[in-house]
Structure 1
Amino acid sequence: MPLILWFRNDLRTHDNPALHYFLTQSQSEMPRKAIFFISEKQWLAHDWSPIKIDFIKRHAQALVEELADLGIELELVSVPDFSAQITYLKDYCVSHHTDNVFANSELEFNERQRDLTCITQGIPLTLYEADVIVPKGKVLNQSGEMFKVFTPFKKAWLKYVQQAGFEYLGKVTSTSLSDESTVKVNLEDSSSSAWPLAKEYERTALPTFFQHKVKSYAQQRDIPSIKGTSGISPYLAAGVISPRYVLISLLNNFPDLLMASDSEEFSWLNEIIWREFYRHLMFHEQKLCKHLCFKEKYQEVRWHNNDELFKAWCEGETGYPLVDAAMRQLNQTGWMHNRLRMVVASFLTKHLLIDWRLGEKYFMQHLIDGDLASNNGGWQWAASTGCDSQPYFRIFNPIRQSERFDPNGNFIRKYLPELKSIPDKHIHFPEQYIENNKLAIYVKPIVEHKEARLKALAFYKV
């Protein structure tokens, strides 16, 4: 009986369980068929950004050529949504007498419902797990439940990996596929072309980061003017790089890292474990896929949503330079430094008292690394509505954050060129300087920090 391989959020040939078991069970003389659905209506309904969609399409096209060298025909099928995917698969399985459909599972609620519908409608779907290092459901507290706090989860996660290890399936290759081969893809007018394909990133950027930057990651990670981070998030979010590949590559460079949680290098691994935490949490708490607060008491909060204030935040016109520079970085590049994600999220929810879900949606619609679990986790952390979130009375001071993490205003000036002539000591909050010098170069602050902070404390306390 013919078999079929269904690619989803896993456009890669390394550490891909569905691909691995598809090849072990398909006979060499049998046509090897794979599909990937381009479902833009569905993607847009899930708020995928144009830059992420372009990034996915580039990797899908590159995978067509890579799989061809393995004797697998990958067909890119355009259908609007999940319902059409099910119809296509059902018809295909019937007409081709397909015995098995291999795929890697997806975490989100709608995706899980789609797969359940496939199975109930007779599609012979076999699912594997490919998006985490430790299988979901394996890291539990003594009551057999998911951890609600990150630190004990991290300790249990590390213990599991130390004792049970983790499975890494490696890269599928053939005699005609070299690790040094390159894939030619038409990148004209590609809004994600600033980001190399995963294959090139694995070959150059990641090893360079491990060799030269990971030791200083803890010191430089919060400085947005420095390229001190790995830039791996788009690749993990799109599933074109495996988290297990990341860990094994890290351990190849630092073999004792799992036992050295106080080392400089561990601070980067800690971010990978945060990713695992949010994915495990969403697996257990599917309400997080439905725009619901993790802490139920916050579900009935009446946010002070204001269209003009939200528009100012979106466009980087709040009058707070670090907030505005961060939002313009997002709007111009499709990416934002992680420290700044916390700053702008705190500003929206605490200074403007605008619903975190509006910010979550805006991020997803603009980020190249938009990932529901991590994005939701980060926004609910900032809004104090989530699991292991900052307490409601912790309110980032955007001026102090600017002074700490962009002391000379280098990042601010890059994205707010109108402030290039402002002296360093005024760059973090230039309102008075601009007013004294009768300059008309920058917007006035839309809220006053101290007043907004007191208002937020009263709001959350109620």
Structure 2
Amino acid sequence: MPSVPVAIVWFRRDLRLKDNAALYHALKSGLPVIPVFIFDSNILDQLEDKKDRRVEFIYRALEEMQERLVSLNSTLDVRYGEPVAVFRELLKTYHIQQVFTNHDYESYALHRDNEVAQLLVEYGAGFQHFKDQVIFEKDEVLKDDGKPYCVFTPYSRKWKATLQPFYLKAYPTEKYLGRFYQQATKEIPSLVSMGFEAGGLPFPAKSLNTELARKYSVQRDFPAIEGTSKLGVHLRFGTISIRQLAVKAKDLNETFLNELIWRDFYHMILWHFPHVGLGKAFRPEYDSIRWRNNEMEFEAWCSGKTGYPIVDAGMRELNATGFMHNRVRMIVASFLTKHLLIDWRWGEAYFAAKLLDYDFAANNGGWQWASGSGCDAAPYFRIFNPYLQTKKFDPDGRYIKKWVPELDSFDYPAPIVDHEFARKRCLEVYAAALKK
């Protein structure tokens, strides 16, 4: 073990060297800094798709970081395994005095970080963590009575009233990049060595299209238009800074800024109401719904063969690209939970497996909103009519024709359920559960 004490900066959802809270504090600590990333086998081993593009995205982001670090005569130390086991090895390799990392709010992440922190205490090392992936977290935006908000609109008003310029100020990490620990380049484990392979498809650009952002409020609901930023994957893995994006959004379009505030809102909900992270409905009474959970109908929904063109287009887009337009996400989620009466948790899990920009807090919040069980949710009697949604948001059928080319042929299936019948059935089932 080298005798020189060092600081570890543990990258997770923050794969960038610019404007990174934990990295900034590590570089300012006075200790030589070793950047570490762990491909967590507890997570990767559960992924069935060995061409999972999220793993490839992480890998490409690490390569980009590595290129910059090598130019500074330093290197990423990237390892594969269970985090506690990896840190046991790191403690044998380096004289670790402090570990710096950024907050992660998900249930597994909290458990993982507690285990690592306890291990570090045994070795006399510190564990410091910082806010980085949101603007406001935990108790920073509360109602006047000190309770958390459960409705978005008043939360967003308080969020904006609380915002001061320093909350959006970038961490000047680039001033201190000479403070990395100097060592020979370490090779990043290959995707193949971890059981994965590259798909080769391009990823969304990580720069915000200014013109798109200006028109966001009028274009965002139309899936045939390139009217959304597709920056979700970059926010999810931290290849861009939420602070820098919020600065731009604040000047360009309030509706776009509100989308960033929704991220903070759902992370706040997860923090204050941890039962939503454990498979429970935000509103407990909704756990009494008697879901039909027909597996054949679920498979038809997953594969985009329900006979409802807007639903099928969305599911096929998701399966092919890992992306689905936000308006269509609401339509397909409403259809699964209310037309088919399939438990929202089934849909939540499917999106978790497929979405390139999958984020637990936002995904859970969106699914509970669609099913009526969440905070600030659509009331259970609000049931999207897929035909009216199509008429309003894909009036010329451009989006549908792209993903459902066989629409006008005998190959396209008949509707899996009649809309009016499904609506009536849903109202009856929900009402019966919520009367209890």
| TM-score (ref. length: structure 1) | 0.83
Q: For residue 50 of structure 1, what is the aligned residue in structure 2?
A: 52
Report whether the alignment pairs 1:11 with 2:12: no
- 8 Å contact kept, 1:51–1:366: no
Alignment of 1:45-444 (within 5 A): 45=46, 50-79=52-81, 84-93=82-91, 96-121=94-119, 122=121, 123-162=125-164, 165-170=167-172, 172=174, 190-191=198-199, 193-196=201-204, 201-202=206-207, 206=208, 209-210=209-210, 212-251=211-250, 254=251, 265-419=253-407, 422=408, 440-444=410-414
Aligned partners of 2:243 and 2:138: how far apart in 1? 14
Percent identity of the aligned residues?
38
- 8 Å contact kept, 2:27–2:173: no
What letter is aligned with 2:109? E
Summarize deviations over 1:209-255 as a string: whole Å, max 9, x none.
22x1222211111110000111111111112112111112334xx2x
Aligned partners of 2:165 and 2:247: how far apart in 1? 16
Q: CA RMSD in A?
A: 2.4
Distance 1:175 1:106, change over 3 A: closer
Aligned partners of 2:118 and 2:73: how far apart in 1? 31
Gapped regions of structure 1 (runs ≥ 5): 177-184, 258-264, 423-438
- 8 Å contact kept, 2:137–2:264: no
What letter is aligned with 1:450? E
Aligned partners of 2:149 and 2:18: how far apart in 1? 30
**Does the residue aligned with 1:6 lie in a helix, a strand or coil?**
strand
Distance 1:118 1:165, change over 3 A: closer
Distance 1:331 1:70, change over 3 A: same
Aligned partners of 2:111 and 2:191: how far apart in 1? 35
**Does the residue aligned with 1:125 lie in a helix, a strand or coil?**
strand
Q: Structure 1 residues 240-249 or 314-323, which shifts more?
A: 240-249
How many residue pairs align between the two structures? 409
Aligned partners of 1:322 and 1:171: how far apart in 2? 46
Summarize deviations over 1:131-181 as a string: whole Å, max 9, x none.
1112331100122111010011001100110487444214526899xxxxx
**Does the residue aligned with 2:206 lie in a helix, a strand or coil?**
helix
- 8 Å contact kept, 2:221–2:327: yes
- 8 Å contact kept, 1:64–1:75: no
| TM-score (ref. length: structure 2) | 0.88
Aligned partners of 1:72 and 1:107: how far apart in 2? 30
Deviation at 1:302, TM superposition (A): 2.2
**Does the residue aligned with 1:73 lie in a helix, a strand or coil?**
coil
Aligned partners of 2:89 and 2:417: how far apart in 1? 57
Q: For residue 447 of structure 1, what is the aligned residue in structure 2?
A: 417
Gapped regions of structure 2 (runs ≥ 5): 179-187
**Does the residue aligned with 1:248 lie in a helix, a strand or coil?**
helix
Summarize deviations over 1:37-78 as a string: whole Å, max 9, x none.
112442454889812121111112221112223443211101
Aligned partners of 2:342 and 2:262: how far apart in 1? 26
Aligned partners of 1:450 and 1:238: how far apart in 2? 42
Summarize deviations over 1:262-300 as a string: whole Å, max 9, x none.
xxx111111111111001111111112111100011123
Distance 1:201 1:163, change over 3 A: closer
What letter is aligned with 1:395? I
**Does the residue aligned with 2:36 lie in a helix, a strand or coil?**
strand
**Does the residue aligned with 1:294 lie in a helix, a strand or coil?**
coil
- 8 Å contact kept, 2:97–2:126: yes
